[in-house]
Amino acid sequence: MTAAPDLASNLRLRDRPFDWFFIVVFSLFTVTSMISDMLPTLGVDFSQPSPNFLVNANWWYAHDADPLFMDPPVWMRFVTGLSAFVYPVFSVLLVISLVRGWNWIQLPSVIHATMIATITGIIVFGVEFVGEPEWVTPNPVKFLAFNLPYVLIPIVLLIRMRRPLPFARRF
């Protein structure tokens, strides 16, 4: 199957206004994932305030909201590693696909959204709220403000990409 028939039936981006939401959000996710999750993955210590902006930003977020992120065990470093080095590749491809109307992104989007919502959902609603006492968040409002979008927006993407030829319809 060639891409030409799929593209012919696609709506223009201006006729798919909700896709602009995904373009903006996944562009931001690309940057935020790389910035925030690269530090714990690489073992950078951000347990104290620092003059380094990235270190200080991670400290500001984690010191009173995310003890698991502040001192991640090895398994969590795998999670942050995926977020820092794998997810941004998908996010860039998704943004380009949304702009160009590449329908082949539908199945990868379903896989990605399911994986993100599951992994992040387990951490958000499992470990940080009912897990081991040393990892339970002391500041659930701040924790959810920063992390809940990474669970909810992939679910909305999953709904958007629920059927083949996602760019042949408005949503």
Domain that holds residue 132: 18-162
Per-residue CA distances from 22 to 67, 96, 132 (Å): 30, 11, 34
* Predicted confidence (pLDDT) at residue 170 exceeds the cutoff of 60: yes
Backbone angles phi, psi at 10, to 5 degrees: -70, 145
What does the buried/exposed string (b/e) look like for 87-106 if buried means 16 or more CB atoms within 10 Å of the residue's CB? bbebbebbbebbeebbbebb
Rg, the chain, Cα only:
18
Alpha carbon 59 to chain centroid, angstroms: 20
Q: Over the stretch 77-96, which tens digit does the pLDDT of each residue have?
A: 999 999 999 999 999 999 99
How many CB atoms sit inside 10 A of residue 11's CB? 14
In a domain, 154, yes or no: yes
In a domain, 10, yes or no: no
* Predicted confidence (pLDDT) at residue 4 exceeds the cutoff of 60: no
In a domain, 169, yes or no: no
In a domain, 3, yes or no: no
What pLDDT score does 124 carry?
79
Average pLDDT of the chain to the nearest whole number: 94
Contact 46, 55 (CB under 8 A): yes
In a domain, 13, yes or no: no
For 169, the 3-state DSSP assignment is coil
In a domain, 136, yes or no: yes
15 confidence band (pLDDT: 50, 70, 90): very high
Q: Which residue from 166, 140, 160, 169 is spatially nearest to 66, judged by alpha carbons?
A: 140
In a domain, 134, yes or no: yes
What pLDDT score does 54 carry?
95
2 confidence band (pLDDT: 50, 70, 90): low
In a domain, 55, yes or no: yes
* Predicted confidence (pLDDT) at residue 3 exceeds the cutoff of 80: no
Q: Over the stretch 89-137, which tens digit does the pLDDT of each residue have?
A: 999 999 999 999 999 999 999 999 999 999 988 887 899 999 999 999 9
- pTM, 2 dp: 0.90
Q: Based on the structure, what is the number of domains in the chain? A: 1
